[in-house]
Amino acid sequence: MSLPFLDIHTHSITPYRNTLRVLNYIIGQEAMDNESLYTAGIHPWYIDADPSLQWQLLEIAVGTPQVIGIGECGLDKHCNTDWDLQVGIFEGQIKLAKKVGKPLLLHSVRSYQEITQLLRVQQFDLPVIFHGFNKNIKLAKQLLDAGYYLSLGADILNGRQDALISEIPLDRVFLETDDKAIDIVAIFSYFCAARKLPLVVLKQQLMDNFERVFNYRIEE
């Protein structure tokens, strides 16, 4: 059996052949089934004015074995959610991730400095993945130097991230479809072409990254 394509972050419930998907569960907006793998989190766009019920649902979700990470969560300066409320909810999810020993998958819009500062203050030492990363290579190197992982999505198809694809350490990268109606195979194919890398090598490396970061063993 060939290695599956790994889609580390998707909102789509449409299955693709030979693909291992980690579905996103936005607390209060989406639902989980009993078969898929998930990350679960309180997204900054969707924080209730009184988030106590969201917290209860999140704590229940992260206690299940099918939830392998917390997120997407983070900070967003472009949304209408009160900033202090965003910060408080994000801090709480950092602490919860530490408590349950699961990695974070992060949403960041013009908030990389604030997010990394909070991670340092909280002394968060588990893996951190910045999902949908589409910023400049200077910021990418800063995040990589800090020990974080980057997940690249459909934005790589426009050709503006080829330099990053050429330089990013393969043991610190993931690929994703997010909310795009696209097959993860297209993203894998583009990455391999830009990196001049055999597809089987990339598939194996991302699976190794997945098992290490999420402490989840894929059965042969």
Q: How far is 12 from 16, CA to CA, in rounded Å?
A: 10
DSSP reduced 3-state for 146: coil
> Three-state SS for 82?
coil
Cβ within 8 Å of residue 190, ≥6 positions away: 156, 157
Distance CA 168, CA 60 (A): 36
Q: Dihedral (C-alpha) 163, 210, 9, 79: value to the nearest 10 degrees?
A: -70
pTM: 0.96
Q: Position of tokens 């993945």?
A: 129
User: Along the 220 residues of the chain, how does pLDDT read in single tens digits?
Assistant: 589 999 999 999 888 889 999 999 999 898 898 889 999 999 999 999 999 999 999 999 999 999 999 999 999 999 999 999 999 999 999 999 999 999 999 999 999 999 999 999 999 999 999 999 999 999 999 999 999 999 999 999 999 999 999 999 999 999 999 999 999 999 999 999 999 999 999 999 999 999 999 999 877 5
